[in-house]
Amino acid sequence: MKEKIRNLLENRKAILLAHNYQPPEIQDIADLCGDSLELSIKAAQTDAEVIVFCGVHFMAETASILSPDKTVLLPRKDAGCPMADMVTPDALKAKLDKPPYLPVVTYVNSTAAVKALSTICCTSANAIKVVNSLDASEILMIPDRNLAQYAASYTSKKIHVWDGYCPIHELLTPEDIKKAKQIYPDAVFLAHPECRPEVLALADNVLSTSGMIRFARESGNTTFIVGTEVGLLYALKKENPNKDFYPASSAMECPDMKKITLEDVAGSLEFMEGLVKVPENIQRPALKAVQRMVDLSLKK
């Protein structure tokens, strides 16, 4: 199956991008694994004609926003992100129609239609940089309340918080961390900014998924408690076979990130199924918000 996929990728002039939470067999066959920011940048820069996105729907949409002339395939169209659906264009419009009239920083975990109404996007890797780049003293951050509260603690700006959250990261409690620290007292606790503030307060470092991989690679520590979706453990262990990684909670499995199989990838490439195409009237304004973020992230 892996050989079939590699052949299909070559014949279609396609690139396979996979998020760090994808199942091991998908990560192993991908041209690039990464966090949302790295995958967005790669999607903007690739000269491949087809992008096969192994992740969830908003990630494939972001690739389509950045590369409107390319074919973007999501091998399972039903792989979504519940947090992205916690803000709709209508609900956002209703908020923006009333004072205070605020610039909107939108987490990439959002629909293209919501991005189209936004000032700038951000990811877990650059949220603080994005917030501090804006020439405004008050900002609305959507849809993740935890990421917004985390960014608020690193800025003098007033952050207005939307009440969305990731149901997977929300599962992690301070009690889970206290228990894990009792079992692994020398471990470094790494947390994703989608975790609740009371969990982030216990973290040694708050990082995006690829930020965790980089940190583990460079750290002198050998034991880590990982506060994010359990799929990341595979990438961590693969890069650092001599280090130990423990999930902060084994309940943190995102079912949407586990939907795509190798058979789905092969089928999608063979029959060009799972097309994700953002319509032009949404793509154009959404591109402004995504491109602004990408440009800021590439700036030293």
The contact set with ligand 13P (CB under 6 A) reads 20, 35-36, 109, 123-124, 166, 194, 208-209, 229
Contacting ligand SF4 within 204-263 (CB under 6 A): 229, 254, 256-257
> Which ranges of the chain would DSSP assign to H, the alpha helix?
2-11, 24-29, 36-45, 57-66, 89-96, 112-115, 127-133, 145-152, 174-183, 197-200, 209-218, 232-239, 262-271, 280-298
Q: CA separation (Å) from 211 to 23, 54, 80, 205, 247?
A: 19, 20, 23, 10, 16
Contact 104, 92 (CB under 8 A): yes
What does 82 bind: ligand 13P, ligand SF4, none (CB cut-off 5 to 8 Å by kind)? Answer: ligand SF4
Which residue number, 168 or 236, has a Cβ lying nearer to ligand SF4? Answer: 168
Tell me the per-residue interface mask from 135 to 164 with ligand SF4, x by CB under 6 A, - otherwise. Answer: ------------------------------
48/233 with CB nearer ligand SF4: 233
**Least distance CB 18 / ligand 13P (angstroms):** 11
Between 96 and 171, whose beta carbon lies closer to ligand SF4? 171
Q: Which is nearer to ligand 13P, 110 or 124 (CB)?
A: 124
Shortest distance (Å) from residue 231 CB to ligand SF4: 9
Per-residue interface string for the shown chain with ligand SF4, residues 60-89, x marking contact by CB under 6 A: ---------------------xxx------
Query: For ligand SF4, which is the closer residue by CB, 62 or 157?
Result: 62
Minimum gap (Å) between residue 102 Cβ and ligand SF4? 23
Contact mark string toward ligand SF4, 162..191, x via CB under 6 A: ----xxx-----------------------
End-to-end CA distance of the chain: 41
Q: How far apart are CA 265 and CA 273, in angstroms?
A: 9
Angle between helices 36-45 and 57-66 (to 10 degrees): 30
Count of CB atoms situated within 10 Å of the CB of 274? 22
173: left (phi over 0), alpha (psi -120 to 50) or beta: beta
Tokens of residue 12, six digits: 């279609």
Minimum CB separation of residue 288 from ligand 13P in Å reads: 21
- The answer to whether 109 contacts ligand SF4 (rule: CB under 6 A) is yes
Nearer of residues 106 and 123 to ligand 13P, judged by Cβ = 123
105 close to 152: Cβ distance less than 8 angstroms: no
- Residue 73 main-chain phi, psi, to 5 deg: -115, 135
Closest CB to ligand 13P among 226 and 266? Answer: 226
Contact between 50 and 238 (Cβ < 8 Å) = no
Interface residues with ligand SF4 (CB under 6 A) are 56, 81-83, 109, 166-168, 194, 229, 254, 256-257
